[in-house]
Amino acid sequence: MKIKSLSLAIISATALLSGAAQAYETGDIIVRGGLASVNPDVDSGNLYAAGVEQADSKVDVNNETQLGLSLTYMIQDNIGIELLAATPFSHKLQGKGGLSALGEFAEVKHLPPTLSVQYYPMDNSSLFQPYVGLGLNYTIFFSEKFINGADSTFNSLELDDSLGLAAQVGFDYQVADNWSLNAAVWYMDIDTTGTFKGPAGDYKIDVSLDPWVYMAGVAYRF
């Protein structure tokens, strides 16, 4: 009787685990949400004032964390299409080199919608679902403004929007029928040109931001 009871318990547990482990299938919709941190890897060119390059006059950009959200539609059991969104990120621009005296002189907000094709190498009997993705990022800059007194000298700040490649790796770990823990990282190719006006006339600076974006949170499958 004990052996029979133990066998039944093992069979029941196996059945329950098998049911819980059905991960992603064609037609599934996966919503992921959590904290997303944008960490720019800044490579700044020099500032041009009235067309003249100013030696060693660069900028840096700080990190920022906001709520991140992504939506994936599984077009096959192992392939999904993901749209990444977030609440607006706000970054401070800080002077470097010859611009160090400016300190944090400007603020800009951006949204980084990213569309990717994802590949899930594990079959849908696995609780652990790693994935990789490749796609395009379109970064929209807005609400550009000078701060900390710089607005008394400079005005009309604008940053060009950016279109570039994006790559990602991530994983989900299923903890309930439709719920998983999620973590992911993206690398995004983001380049922009900043223009503004000041005492010397027109100013321009090219900046490569190329951020690493980290997100940790939960995923829910519909």
Residue 192 neighbours by CB under 8 Å, 6+ apart: 139, 141, 159, 160, 161, 162, 206, 207, 209
Name the residue range of residue 197's domain: 2-221
- Written as one letter, the residue type at 2 is K
How far is residue 174 from each of residues 80, 159, 182, 219, measured CA to CA in Å? Answer: 17, 41, 9, 9
Question: What average pLDDT score do residues 147-170 get?
Answer: 96
Distance from C-alpha of 66 to C-alpha of 82, rounded to nearest angstrom: 19
Helix (H, G, I), strand (E, B) or coil at 2: helix
Between the alpha carbon of residue 122 and those of residues 3, 25, 131, 216, the distances in Å are 34, 11, 9, 21
Averaged confidence pLDDT in the chain = 90
Biggest alpha carbon distance in the chain?
93
**CATH code of the domain containing 17:** 2.40.160.20
CA atoms of 192 and 42, how far apart (whole Å): 11
- What's the pLDDT at 162? 97
In the chain, pLDDT over 90 holds for what percent of residues? 85
Q: Are strands 212-221 and 29-39 parallel, antiparallel or unpaired?
A: antiparallel
CA torsion sign, 128 to 129 to 130 to 136? negative
pTM over 0.85: no
- Write the pLDDT tens digit of every residue in 119-153: 999 988 899 999 999 999 999 999 999 999 999 99
If one counts the domains in the chain, the total is 1
